Amino acid sequence: MIGELLRGMATTIKHLFKPPVTIAYPEVKRPVRYRFKGRHELKRYDNGLEKCIGCSLCAAACPADAIFVEAAENTDERRFSPGERYASTYEINMIRCIFCGYCEDACPTEAIVLEDNYELSYYDRASTIYTKDMLIVPVPEGGKPTPQKTPPGLYNRPIPDMEDPK
């Protein structure tokens, strides 16, 4: 009995001098793994144009039917993306999403990316629908917000190049 008590005390004392394994979340956040798949972001090019061209391939690839895309035509007077079309509506239902990353794999312009944010909580079902305004990243420094007025004929490809357009 005494021996077991001493062994237990020894285990406790041994752990007193080890660094703590807990972290002070939410003030301190543990870095995620390289392949972690968190909340989606819709990306922009450096000039501020949106990478999404409203093609709906992400929605077609989604096994949970979580994505809704509605596309509209770009014009040189009112351009959102360098492609023929842009997403006028883009929504993800986060309680359907299983964070598989198929949408990211299917996207021809690398517009939708699952990033590091894992802080997703909701008080009602309506809040689980993430809209384009919630998903799209801010305009980068030096870029312009969308819609932009662009020179006629500058963007003439239905699917733009991956790199930043000139």
113 near ligand SF4, rule: CB under 6 A: no
Assess 112 for contact with ligand SF4 (CB under 6 A). yes
Which of 120, 119, 127, 104 shows the shortest CA–CA distance to 43?
104
Tokens of 64: 């949970």
d(CA 101, CA 15): 40
Q: Which is nearer to ligand SF4, 75 or 89 (CB)?
A: 89
92 binds ligand SF4, rule: CB under 6 A: yes
Subset of residues 9 to 68 that bind ligand SF4, contact rule: CB under 6 A: 52-58, 61-64, 66-67
Tell me the window of 17-25, 106-114, 128-136, 142-150 that interacts with ligand SF4 (CB under 6 A).
106-114
State the DSSP code for 126.
Answer: G
Using CB under 6 A, pick the residue from 49, 97, 113, 135 that binds ligand SF4. 97
- Does residue 70 contact residue 89 with C-beta atoms inside 8 Å? yes
